[in-house]
Structure 1
Amino acid sequence: MPLMPRHLGDFSLTTRVLPITGLALVVGAAGAGAACLLLRLIGLITNVVFYQRVSTALVAPGAARHSAALILLSPVAGGLIVGLMARFGSEKIRGHGMPEAIEAILVGGSRIQPRVALLKPASAAISIGSGGPFGAEGPIIMTGGAVGSILAQALKLSADERKTLLVAGAASGMAATFNAPLASVLLAVELLLFEWRPRSLIPVGAAVSMSVVCRGWLLGTAPIFPVTDLVHPGPAATTLALLPGLTGGLLAIGATGLVYLAEDAFKKLPVHWMWWPALGGAIVGVGGLFEPRALGVGYDVIDQLLTGRAALSLVLGILVVKTLIWSLSLGSGTSGGVLAPVFMIGGALGALEGDLLPHVFPGFWAMAGLAAVVGGVMRSPLTGIVFTLELTHAWNDLTPLLVASVSAYLLSALLLKRSVLTEKVARRGLHLTREYSTDPLETFFAREVMTTDPAVLDADDLLSRHPRTLVYADQTLREVANTFAVHDTTRALVVDRGDPERLLGLVELTHLLHARRKDHHEEHHRQRHLTLRTRELRINPDTVDPDTV
């Protein structure tokens, strides 16, 4: 009786990745359009609320003097509208976007409701346009992700393919917002994809590329915060980048703690959560009375910080007021992103320390602080580095930014259990790991662990076994494990790929533990392989010429 394998497990790049990549190009263009519309909507609401004019230009709420009543009450009104939209529209619009996208991927099969694609940007524009100290990137991640998810739901696709299109939409929206393609792809890998594989990276890269091309037509191609008067930082500046790195890590830990301290405090209030964003808006309004420039998305302030044009009073005001109102109001569950505020807070920290550190060029230390706080708050050090470089085009600063971002990440990883993004996911009862490594099951083949014991491979036993699940000898243990899962079995016959009728052995579930034991051994077993040994040199003075010793 011929033996034919029931599961081959071969991956086809042509039949699976290329069609999804074609869809991702469409999603990328849509993500750029959504980002442009969101920025215009934020500009429109900001102009109407603070300047009583109709314009879509992106302006800062605090760029002119306003009455105390307007500064105090506008964020409250905006928060009240957001609360109503969340209660009677969709609760999914609450929060800063990225945790909601992560949750949709982890437990929702990468399915996002179509109404979220409309309500999320609208609520974020109202929140930010009325003075909320948030960024546009979180909402656009959720909106772009919803665009990709909706397209995927309309087609017959797998959950992994839906995830790819969801992340493609999220990353394309991010890329269009900040004109930062590489950082957006890194953010997708570090936060959303939970893998680094061709099946997802290629479509996401294609979507981001299309998004940036479309952004050039819609918003231009110049860097968002161009830095001029660049010089190459020397070894001293690179070493001193540890200071903004370590202090940025501490600031990231403190800000993250404040966010969830505020969230816990709001949960104890004897009022419905619908009212929380309005209460958070009151905190924003009070902060705005002290530092109006802390209101809104703050791109103008970030530009001043990164180009060395911010006065000390503005630096101090942003560092204190922005950190407090952003952290405390974000805990209210309103709609808004974390990235732009983190840019501003990190830039302010670096600018403040720059007054004490050697001058390199205007904005250098602000850039180091920005990269550090992003690396610490979001636990995405590579994203922090590349974002800073793409925002400013200060490519010479790679090494000091690496020092700052990684040192902040080190402190955050040592002292903080989870990031500001993953803590929210964990509080919803979900487990999320951010440590990616090679699956040990990928490092062994079936032929290396199978048994060839004749007593086990009795011919009569093989013929009576039903159903017979077969695997190839050169399949990895991960493919074998997938075969076990698909066919609900714990054993399979191993055959030769060149001659499928040739039985080579039997692999069982317990054999898969060999890879895990090997991985555990390599992680925990310590052994010295090279040692330095000294030998005593004995010389006989009667037989050795002293001139040759």
Structure 2
Amino acid sequence: MLNRSIQTLKEYIGPLLLALAIGALAGLGVVIFRGLISYGQEVLWPAGTNFAEQLQHAGWWWKILIPAGMGLLIGPIITFWAPEVRGPGVPEVMEALALRGGRIRHRVTLITTFVTAGHISAGAPVGREGPVVQIGSSIGSSLTQILNLGRDSRRLAVACGAAAGIAATFQAPMAGTLFAVEVLLFDLEIASLSNIVISAVTGTMVARAFWQGAQIFEIPDFFMAHPAELLLYFFLGLVAGLISLVLMGAIFSLPRFLRRIGVPDWLGPALGGLLIGIVALYCPWALGVGYESINAALAGKVSLVFALTLLVAKIVATGFSIGSGMSGGIFAPSLFIGAALGSLVGLGAQSLWPESGLVPAHYALIGMGAMVSGTTLAPITAVLTIFELTYSYQVILPLMVSCIASLTVVRLLHGYSIYETKLLLKGVNIVKGHEVNVLRGMRVGEHMSTDLQVLRKDAPFSEIASAMEQSPFPHFLVLDSQDRLSGVLTLRDCRKYFAHPELCRPDTTAKLVMVKDIVTVDEETDMETAFHLFARHNISFLPVVNSNDPKIVIGQLKKTDLFAAYDQYVLKERLLSPLGWVCPLPQRKSD
């Protein structure tokens, strides 16, 4: 009983302590990351009370030189050392979770931190949120790899790191938790939720220890002047959905253009920096993370023309930045564009109905959530993010109306979030379903059998018949004299010889009867691919060959092996044996 109790404590307490460590390290990583950005802005730009003012004090040539020069410096690092750092960062975490069991290279933590800090310091109009998700996830993945933990523990650690990163950035543990589940497509088990919450709360507390009393946004007191305002918020959500599609188009059209004109990947960020610098000449407020401009919108200090200028400039500059291959998130640009769009709608409605008591700043706040919902297709995360910034229950209903409207428009007209779209363009289809992602993350080499049934090419039919009779699984690999694969032989191939023995001649050997057109896999093939091969070719087993030499057999994968692997990871209940401390409980029957 004592040993079982200790084992149970290890199974519960170990993951919780790991989640606590991941949350603390991810929170510390966010603090260091933001510190690097602030230091870089102080070094690269003239003095000012905020980044927008620093840009305004800089000369026109400096506004072009710094972003372009930083892109030229960092472009080769991204291209040759860590291509997964390119872009928002979140799609790469999704891919690692679904296809590689949460395995992320150790170098990603440091390279993402310094590369993205450099880009944002130089004025790139991207967010900190995507990179901190990648930083936190990389920390979680690296810890589990160092501790040599299994696939499930690694995937959970990646989700914990992502939640802690978002939570620390916005001081919003609930939003961080939902982000890990809703955006990263993490196939959550209820028992895992406590680990993610612990990481998110720990990351938030670490960040607050360094930013005590710091406020990200100056949030206005929210109220609804009239219930009919919900119609305006619904309209705002519809427009936010359309603008989300425009933003995606701006981001994904530039890479196609750069490839068409032959610009190498390592030079893309430099060209993007040059284009960003040109935008800075006309609208410096659109560069950087942009929280100063968001606060201006939330304070109601933007005019109709200025809001429109910010909206257009931010879309263009973000498209140039992320589209050219710079590292940076899409979350903050979505908040910025949503605030500008909400201000436009609010100011327009106020000019049409001046006696209605409408407050444009309220529309800026709701627009932020609507744009996040449209770009990420994560309405719950969007609602909770804004709620945790305001802690006002009155904001929830208009937020839900706008976020669902935005989500619906993107779903109907495009169907995918900005993260899913990037993966689809890479040829990676992340299916929102536990079963497919589990099979896709499993490798044939982990589940193949090395107990092989072998026949030689020159084996006479009498030997074949004897082997068939004695075998519980009459499927044989046919090898030549040098143990190289020549074909496969099954009971189905011998059927006509058993039905008509007169067809057998002294020279009827395995070479004559076997199937020479062989379907094979190697040990690194994922189980989803094997599943499709079984279905397409109507076969019962697959020879597993060496990845360097397709004629060397190292094992075989039966269709039943695939079913057993599926059962192990998806269908089988993971229950601990009851200890019976409170009352006698029935023991679980062994399989």
Q: Does 2:146 correspond to 1:66?
A: no
Q: How far did 1:328 drift?
A: 2.8
Q: Does 2:26 correspond to 1:31?
A: yes
> What does 1:21-170 align with in structure 2 at a 5 Å threshold?
21-51=16-46, 59-60=51-52, 64-170=56-162
**Higher mean C-alpha displacement, 241-250 vs 103-112:** 103-112
Q: Does 2:345 correspond to 1:345?
A: no
**Does the C-alpha gap of structure 1 residues 500 and 310 become closer, same or farther in structure 2, counting only changes over 3 Å?**
closer
Q: How far did 1:240 drift?
A: 1.8
Match of 1:485 in 2: 565
| 1:187-240 superposed Cα distances (whole Å, 9 cap, x missing partner) | 111122422322432211110011111121111255421323433454112232
Q: Distance in 2 between matches of 1:235 and 1:481?
A: 59
Is the Cα–Cα contact under 8 Å of residues 62 and 292 in structure 1 kept in the other structure? no
**Residue among 281, 292, 316 paired with 2:273:** 281
| 1:471-499 superposed Cα distances (whole Å, 9 cap, x missing partner) | xxxxxxxxx999733799xxx9xxxx989
Q: Distance in 1 between matches of 2:379 and 2:423?
A: 20
| 1:354-399 superposed Cα distances (whole Å, 9 cap, x missing partner) | 1122544451011121111111111111111111222334432110
| 1:125-158 superposed Cα distances (whole Å, 9 cap, x missing partner) | 1111001000111111111111111101011322
Q: Does 2:21 correspond to 1:20?
A: no
Q: Distance in 1 between matches of 2:176 and 2:407?
A: 19
Q: How far did 1:423 drift?
A: 0.9
Aligned residues: percent identity?
Answer: 31
**Residue among 252, 262, 279 paired with 2:254:** 262
Q: Distance in 2 between matches of 1:416 and 1:50?
A: 40
**Does the C-alpha gap of structure 1 residues 271 and 20 become closer, same or farther in structure 2, counting only changes over 3 Å?**
same
**Does the C-alpha gap of structure 1 residues 145 and 391 become closer, same or farther in structure 2, counting only changes over 3 Å?**
same
Match of 2:550 in 1: none
Match of 2:412 in 1: 414
**Residue among 388, 402, 412 paired with 2:386:** 388
Q: Which amino acid aligns with 2:27?
A: A
Q: How far did 1:107 drift?
A: 2.0
Match of 1:523 in 2: none
Task: Work out the number of aligned pairs and report it.
Answer: 445
**Does the C-alpha gap of structure 1 residues 233 and 214 become closer, same or farther in structure 2, counting only changes over 3 Å?**
farther
Match of 1:372 in 2: 370
Q: Distance in 1 between matches of 2:244 and 2:79?
A: 31
Pairwise CA RMSD: 3.0
Q: How far did 1:62 drift?
A: 5.1
Q: How far did 1:64 drift?
A: 3.5
- SS of the aligned residue for 1:404 comes to helix
**Residue among 309, 315, 337 paired with 1:323:** 315
> What does 1:396-407 align with in structure 2 at a 5 Å threshold?
396-407=394-405
Is the Cα–Cα contact under 8 Å of residues 113 and 150 in structure 1 kept in the other structure? yes
Q: Which amino acid aligns with 1:252?
A: S
Question: What TM-score comes out, normalization by structure 2 length?
Answer: 0.70
Q: Which amino acid aligns with 2:16?
A: T
Q: Which amino acid aligns with 2:41?
A: T
| 5+ residue gaps, structure 1 | 1-11, 440-463, 468-479, 504-549
Q: Which amino acid aligns with 2:43?
A: V
**Residue among 338, 347, 353 paired with 1:355:** 347
**Higher mean C-alpha displacement, 29-38 vs 194-203:** 194-203
Q: Distance in 2 between matches of 1:167 and 1:313?
A: 41
Q: Distance in 1 between matches of 2:372 and 2:472?
A: 56
Is the Cα–Cα contact under 8 Å of residues 300 and 360 in structure 2 kept in the other structure? yes
| 5+ residue gaps, structure 2 | 1-6, 351-356, 438-469, 474-559, 573-585
Q: Which amino acid aligns with 1:282?
A: L
Is the Cα–Cα contact under 8 Å of residues 215 and 221 in structure 1 kept in the other structure? no
Is the Cα–Cα contact under 8 Å of residues 27 and 164 in structure 2 kept in the other structure? yes
Q: How far did 1:18 drift?
A: 3.6
**Residue among 180, 184, 191 paired with 2:176:** 184
Is the Cα–Cα contact under 8 Å of residues 167 and 204 in structure 1 kept in the other structure? yes
Is the Cα–Cα contact under 8 Å of residues 195 and 436 in structure 1 kept in the other structure? yes
- SS of the aligned residue for 2:184 comes to helix
Q: How far did 1:434 drift?
A: 3.8
Is the Cα–Cα contact under 8 Å of residues 46 and 61 in structure 1 kept in the other structure? no
- SS of the aligned residue for 2:212 comes to coil
Q: Distance in 2 between matches of 1:342 and 1:271?
A: 28
Runs of 4+ in 1 over 4 A off after TM superposition: 12-15, 464-467, 480-483, 497-501
**Does the C-alpha gap of structure 1 residues 287 and 500 become closer, same or farther in structure 2, counting only changes over 3 Å?**
closer
Q: How far did 1:105 drift?
A: 1.3
Is the Cα–Cα contact under 8 Å of residues 97 and 186 in structure 2 kept in the other structure? no
**Does the C-alpha gap of structure 1 residues 230 and 159 become closer, same or farther in structure 2, counting only changes over 3 Å?**
same
Q: Distance in 1 between matches of 2:362 and 2:145?
A: 46
Match of 1:205 in 2: 197
Q: Which amino acid aligns with 2:28?
A: G
Q: Which amino acid aligns with 2:151?
A: A
Q: Distance in 1 between matches of 2:386 and 2:589?
A: 55
Q: Which amino acid aligns with 1:242?
A: F
Q: How far did 1:247 drift?
A: 0.3
Match of 1:226 in 2: 218
Bigger relative contact order (CA 8 A; separation at least 6):
1
**Does the C-alpha gap of structure 1 residues 73 and 400 become closer, same or farther in structure 2, counting only changes over 3 Å?**
same
| 1:254-276 superposed Cα distances (whole Å, 9 cap, x missing partner) | 11122111121122232321000
Q: How far did 1:465 drift?
A: 12
Q: Distance in 2 between matches of 1:335 and 1:245?
A: 28
